[in-house]
Structure 1
Amino acid sequence: MSKKQLPVAPAGRPCARVTCETLPSALDRWNGGIKAAATDDNSISVFDVIGQDYWGEGVTAKRIAGALRVMNGADVTVNINSPGGDMFEGLAIYNLLREYQGKVTVKVLGIAASAASVIAMAGDDIQIGRGAFLMIHN
């Protein structure tokens, strides 16, 4: 039995020189102080299917109830980008948001389809992005 001889990278190969020079005019306009930051700590993200999926992920009424409990009646923003999912889970989340004491602002960022469209209707203030979609079944 013999072992195959694997190819070896040449040891003496020079490294490629890569340089990048930024124009001084671009550096003058650069503002290092600008950083992405949430403007509101009281936000709930609905960026997954509604209901628990096979892998145990997804947005559930249990998760939303826990998030609302922590907020203690303060105004809340619900950001939605979801294809929908379990109708009954969506109805439970809708009811939780409607019964919440604080103001509920819903922002549809991408799509609120099917069960997610039901959740979107729970807001006291509903905002839909310019390129966002709301899909409701016939």
Structure 2
Amino acid sequence: MPMPKLLQLFLDNVNRPRDFKVAVEGDEAEIYLYDAIGDWYGVSAAQFVQELRGLDVATIHLRMNCPGGDVFEGRAMATALAQVKAKTICHIEGLAASAATYVAGACDEVEITPGGFFMIHEAWTLTMGNKRDHQKQIDLLAKVDDSILADYEKRTGASREQLAAWMEAETWFTAEEAKENGFVDAITDTDRKTNRAAWNLAAYANAPAALTKPPAVEDHYNREQAERRLALLERQ
């Protein structure tokens, strides 16, 4: 039986260093979201929102290199960004994929570095149970996709049909394509050193080859721990 995609994404990156921090200088703040979205394998919405709402500045720069994560945690982050009084600018300094794309899209402006990627796809989940349980999850996923489509439609002006087709195909946009299709506002270079291959994105079907490095052999022990942890979460 194939490994569920969410589980594979988590396990392939279980040993990756965590990287979430906030820096304030004068009337501007920087939030570094160089991690996944989700409280059991990355940055929780609670942590993100607490940091965000504690900022008393005119401009907030969200610096991002994120493979996505939990859809509802991402929604909470996006809602908080949309509600702050400060001007918000997202700088995609490597990757914005999956749930990270509508966190980015909640900002007033979105920039991407040359060579960066922007990926959209249909929502994923893990389910257990009988056919009625699975049907409930199918119905929920359809509602989640509709919500995400509404966000993309508002930002890009693209048709619902085109956006749905891109999501179904798991579409990876280059920086130029993301700008051309309205997902980002500008392509802006950065002198910040960003390791765009730091994420192993082999769980995704169409990820660029540079982002699908095989898991290291030494990850085996931690992978076993992660499998047990996820199994417990599935039974909750």
Task: Give the total of aligned pairs.
Answer: 98
For residues 51 and 76 of structure 2, what CA distance do their matches in structure 1 show?
A: 14
Equivalent residue number for residue 66 of structure 2: 82
For residues 49 and 37 of structure 2, what CA distance do their matches in structure 1 show?
A: 14
For residues 32 and 43 of structure 2, what CA distance do their matches in structure 1 show?
A: 9
* Percent identity over paired residues: 38
**What stretches of structure 1 move > 3 A for 4+ residues in a row?**
38-41
The answer (yes or no) to whether the contact 1:73–1:100 under 8 Å persists in 2 is: no
Compute the displacement of 1:39 (Å): 9.1
Compute the displacement of 1:63 (Å): 1.4
For the aligned residues, what is the CA RMSD? 1.8
Equivalent residue number for residue 59 of structure 1: 43
Secondary structure (helix, strand or coil) at the match of 1:58 reads coil
Compute the displacement of 1:79 (Å): 0.6
Amino acid at match of 1:132: G
| TM-score for both structures, normalised by structure 1 | 0.66
CA displacement 1:33-60 (0-9 Å, x = unmatched): xxxxx8956111111110112xxx5122
| TM-score for both structures, normalised by structure 2 | 0.39
Secondary structure (helix, strand or coil) at the match of 1:63 reads helix
Aligned pairs for 1:1-138 within 5 A: 42-53=29-40, 57-137=41-121, 138=167
For residues 51 and 24 of structure 2, what CA distance do their matches in structure 1 show?
A: 17
Amino acid at match of 1:68: L
Compute the displacement of 1:99 (Å): 0.5
For structure 2, which runs of at least 5 residues remain unmatched after alignment? 1-22, 122-166, 168-236
For structure 1, which runs of at least 5 residues remain unmatched after alignment? 1-37
